[in-house]
């Protein structure tokens, strides 16, 4: 009897971008993580996913892994730069509380995708993380593989202005970089996407060209300013109605619109600070409201715990 197809499948992370992702999914799934899907909004980093920000708050254990597409309009290079993209993937793992063997688990995950630590030089180099927008900071490292930063490794200490109790460990892998490294290619568009000859360029090059153009040249700035104001107002509206998750989404939206306005070059240096402060107020306000809303439930389960 022939085996069913799913049983004959093998992961080839060394030659396939998608297999590298699937291998990471397998690994973290086996280590107790929920495998989530990307947040369905435009955002600048995986940290903005509610599975990271909001779940870092409160006493409850939380272990999750997911891919998050990230959009950084100002990093667009019209598909002409071999390393820079305005749209790319992060692989994010959040482990709360941070397990004692988190570094070992992480190094194990590198082996799974084909990085041999006796052949490649893996280093933990101090790099603390801070996001004033989220009222968050943590200590940790950037992990180097032969001098290249492949992961940001952070122990969250505060989120939304609150102490993390307990502390969560966050791992953010730069997927394209890692894949370029593992596959030995110098140009991101040359990555083998599926191990069967479809390249990253075939999937994303046209997207990079068009989106770079739109980000830098086309996007209607009056509409963007309008969207920013509307997101800000809607965030307030949601906060007033005690639905902080909805408010948080609007903060994420405002943050991305701000990034687009930056790419269009229509925000002066002076205005920039004021826009950043507005985004920060929205994000922090939403996190705070979320924590306050959830606090009674958390305290019911963890009587020793307080916000």
Partner 1 sequence: MSDFLLELRCEEIPARMQAGARAELEKLFRREMDAAGVGVDDVTVWSTPRRLALIARGLPDATKAVSEEAKGPPVGAPDQAVDGFCRKNGVSRDDLEVRDVKGRETYFAVKNIPGRATSDLLAEAIPAIIRDFSWPKSMRWGEASLSTESLRWVRPLSGIVALLGDEVVACEVHGVTSGAVTLGHRFHHSGDITIGNADDYAMKLRAGHVIVDHEERQNLIREGAARVASEAGLSLVEDEGLVIENAGLTEWPVPLLGRFDEDFLDVPPEVIQLTARVNQKYFVCESKDGKLANAFICTANIEAEDGGAAIVDGNRKVLAARLSDARFFWELDQKTPLREHAKKLERITFHEKLGSVADKVERVAKLAAWLTSDARAPNGDHNAARQAAELSKSDLVTEMVGEFPELQGLMGGYYAEKEGLPQDVANAIRDHYKPVGQDDEVPTAPITVAVSLADKLDNLFSFFNIDILPTGSKDPFALRRAALGYLRLVQANKLELSLEQAAQAWGGLGQAKLGTRVAEFLSDRLAVQMREEGVRHDYIAASREWHGHTDARTDRIEARARALAEFLKTENGINLLAGYKRAANILKKEDWHGAEGEIARTGEEDPLALVDDPDMKAVIDAKMEERHNREIAYTPEPAEKALIDALDTAEPQAAKAIEAEDFEGAMSALASLRAPIDAFFEDVTVNDPDEDKRAARLDLLARFRAAVHNVADFSKIEG
Q: Which residues lie near partner 1 (CB under 8 A)?
A: 59, 82-83, 97-100, 103, 107, 117-126, 128, 138-139, 141, 145-148, 155, 157, 163-167, 169, 181, 186, 268-270, 302, 304-305
Pick 185 or 203: Cβ nearer partner 1:
185
Nearest to 52 by CA among 283, 293, 300: 283
Pick 141 or 248: Cβ nearer partner 1:
141
Pick 21 or 167: Cβ nearer partner 1:
167
Pick 122 or 246: Cβ nearer partner 1:
122
Pick 115 or 235: Cβ nearer partner 1:
115
Residue 259: CB minimum distance to partner 1, A: 18
Residue 163: CB minimum distance to partner 1, A: 5
Residue 246: CB minimum distance to partner 1, A: 29
Pick 38 or 82: Cβ nearer partner 1:
82
Residue 192: CB minimum distance to partner 1, A: 18
CB 97 within 8 A of CB 56: no
Residue 188: CB minimum distance to partner 1, A: 11
- Three-class secondary structure assignment of the chain: CCCCHHHHCCCCCCCCHHHHHHHHHHHHHHCCCEECCCCCCCCCCHHHCCCCHHHHCCCCCEEEEEEEEEECHHHCCCCCCCCCCCEEEEEEEEEECCCCCHHHHHHHHHHHCCCCCCCCCEEEEECCEEEHHHCEEEEEEEEEECCEEEEEEEEEEEECCEECCCCCEEEEEEHHHHHHHHHCCCCHHHCECCCCCCEHHHHHHHHHHHHHHHHHHHCCHHHHHHHHHHHHHHHHHHHHCCCHHHHHHHHHHHHHHHHHHHHCCCCCHHHHHHHHHHHHHHHHHHHHHHHHHHHHHHHHHCCCCCC
d(CA 9, CA 191): 21
Residue 91: CB minimum distance to partner 1, A: 20
Residue 264: CB minimum distance to partner 1, A: 16
């Amino acid at each position: 009897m022939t085996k069913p197809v799913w049983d004959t499948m093998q992961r080839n992370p060394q030659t396939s971008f998608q297999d590298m992702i699937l291998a990471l999914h397998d690994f973290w799934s086996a280590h107790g993580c929920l495998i989530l899907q990307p947040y369905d909004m435009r955002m600048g980093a995986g940290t903005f996913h509610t599975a990271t920000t909001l779940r870092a708050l409160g006493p409850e254990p939380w272990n999750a892994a997911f891919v998050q597409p990230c959009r950084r309009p100002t990093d667009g290079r019209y598909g002409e730069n071999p390393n820079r993209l305005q749209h790319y993937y992060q692989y994010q793992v959040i482990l709360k509380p941070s397990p004692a063997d988190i570094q070992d688990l992480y190094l194990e995950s590198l082996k799974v995708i084909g990085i041999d630590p006796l052949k490649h030089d893996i280093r933990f180099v101090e790099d603390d993380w801070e996001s004033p927008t989220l009222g968050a900071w943590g200590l940790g490292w950037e992990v180097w593989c032969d001098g290249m930063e492949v992961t940001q490794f952070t122990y969250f200490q505060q989120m939304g202005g609150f102490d993390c109790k307990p502390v969560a460990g966050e791992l953010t892998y730069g997927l394209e970089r890692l894949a370029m490294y593992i596959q030995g290619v110098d140009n991101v568009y040359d990555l083998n996407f599926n191990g069967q000859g479809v390249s990253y360029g075939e999937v994303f090059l046209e997207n990079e060209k068009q989106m770079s153009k739109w980000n830098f040249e086309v996007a209607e700035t009056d509409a963007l300013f309008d969207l920013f104001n509307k997101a800000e107002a809607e965030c307030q509206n949601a906060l007033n109605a005690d639905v902080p998750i909805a408010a948080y989404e609007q903060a994420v939206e405002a943050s991305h619109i701000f990034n687009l306005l930056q790419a269009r070059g229509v925000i002066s240096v002076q205005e920039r600070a004021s826009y950043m402060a507005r985004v920060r107020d929205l994000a922090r306000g939403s996190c705070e409201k979320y924590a306050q809303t959830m606090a009674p439930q958390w305290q019911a389960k963890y009587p020793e715990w307080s916000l």
